[in-house]
Amino acid sequence: MKMLLLLLCGILVCAASPAQDWNQPPQVQVMTLGVFHFAYPNLDAVTVDEEDQISVLEEPYQSEIISITGAIEKFNPTIICVETVPDRQQYIDSLYLSYLAGSLEPGKNEIYQLGFRIAKNLELPGVHCVDDWGRQYDNINELFQDSARLARFGDYYRNSPDSIYRVPNPSGKVSSILDELIHMNNPEYISDRLSLYLLTHFKYEEEP
């Protein structure tokens, strides 16, 4: 089995190799592809000004996307996971069926441009919605229920020198989707970005 995960910011693809040893769990190969939001919903901490947005439905971007999907298809994913909440699975399924039937003109969203396109080309039954919060601990839920404490934490998270909210906006338009994805998936870039998400809030102290 192989899985492709398109996240992001984007989409993900996953895959599993044939069983090797009956005593060993099956080994799964996973490809993770981080992408920028092709439709620019601007719902994240870092937003893109309208004049710096591109239309991925136009050239040369469509040709680039076709080339990118072709390269990913060589990985031969058997499961494709996308960044949208599981509650929307039936809705995404219905869109995918319309896409397969030729009655849906795919929009700019990377789920359609990459996820649907790859799934169709590989004759997969659909894509999987996996953007879930996961399990929260009791002490975290307690914090969420206290509006004053939550407001103080929110102020810290947004205004801390290490906050993702203080990262400057991307400069200029994306000139090449391929070059942008190569940059975004560079291990050093990923490490820098994840550190902002995963470390900042652990530095917070309600009392010094």
For the chain, which residues make up each domain, given as ranges?
Answer: 2-129, 140-203
Q: How far is CA 99 from the centre of its chain?
A: 21
Is pTM, for the whole model, over 0.85? no
The CA–CA distances, whole Å, from 137 to 17, 89, 140, 149 equal 34, 26, 5, 16
Q: Mind listing the pLDDT tens digit of every residue in the chain (208 residues)?
A: 566 565 544 454 444 444 456 788 888 899 999 999 999 999 887 789 999 999 999 999 999 999 999 999 999 999 999 999 999 999 999 999 999 999 999 999 999 999 999 999 999 999 999 998 878 788 878 878 899 998 998 888 888 877 777 766 555 789 999 999 999 999 998 988 888 778 888 888 888 8
| CA dihedral of residues 102, 132, 9, 127 (deg, nearest 10) | -20
pLDDT on residue 9: 43
